[in-house]
Amino acid sequence: MSQALTLARPYARAAFALAQEGGRLPQWSQMIGFAAQASAVPQAHDALRHPLAKAEALVDLLLPPGDSDPTFRRFLVELAGHRRLTLLPEIFGLFELLRADAEHRVKATVTSAQPLDEATLSKLRESLRKRFGREVDVTTAVDAGLIGGAVIDAGDIVIDGSLRTKLARLGAALAN
């Protein structure tokens, strides 16, 4: 995995530079996302790895329908020429991180023991915005194993306010 990220990083930066230069970050995000999802389909993944596959045919397989950006096509041709089309999921993930940073946004996943209502989510979003000094895109998940509270994962920062963790810390403290 780390090798794939290392290989994908320069391509993600190049894609980001091309998209930013053209003022098309959202469109490129959609196009790379489509190509990444298409490349992850088992049959497509096998075709991308086949040594006799033609680069143009592979690129046509990964282009999203509709908006055919010639720069994006050239980007995919470049990837195909270096046999790097299988890195598209990693390239997409890194591209999204670069985009979020450029747009002063942070993505956070809030995992709670029970679904959060809109009022709680709004307060949480505002509180995270103040903490990070950026707009926060919040996605939610439910894990009943947390017992209560929530875990907030915002990239490099994890805030664990779950009851499960608090009980584990209490148990460790009592064991000592």
- Find all residues with CB under 8 Å of 90, minimum gap 6, and list them: 4, 5, 7, 8, 12
Per-residue pLDDT of the chain (176 residues; tens, 9 = 90+): 579 889 999 999 999 999 999 999 999 999 999 999 999 888 887 888 888 888 888 888 899 887 678 999 999 999 998 989 999 999 999 999 999 999 999 989 999 999 999 999 999 999 999 998 999 999 999 999 999 989 999 978 999 989 999 999 999 999 98
Beta bridge partners of 157: 154
For the chain, the structural domain boundaries read 2-101, 106-175
Query: What is the fold, at CATH topology level, of the domain defined by 2-101?
Result: Peroxidase; domain 1 (1.10.520)
3-state secondary structure of 105: strand
- The pairing of strands 150-154 and 105-112 is antiparallel
Residue found under tokens 């490129």:
28
Chain centroid to CA 104: 16
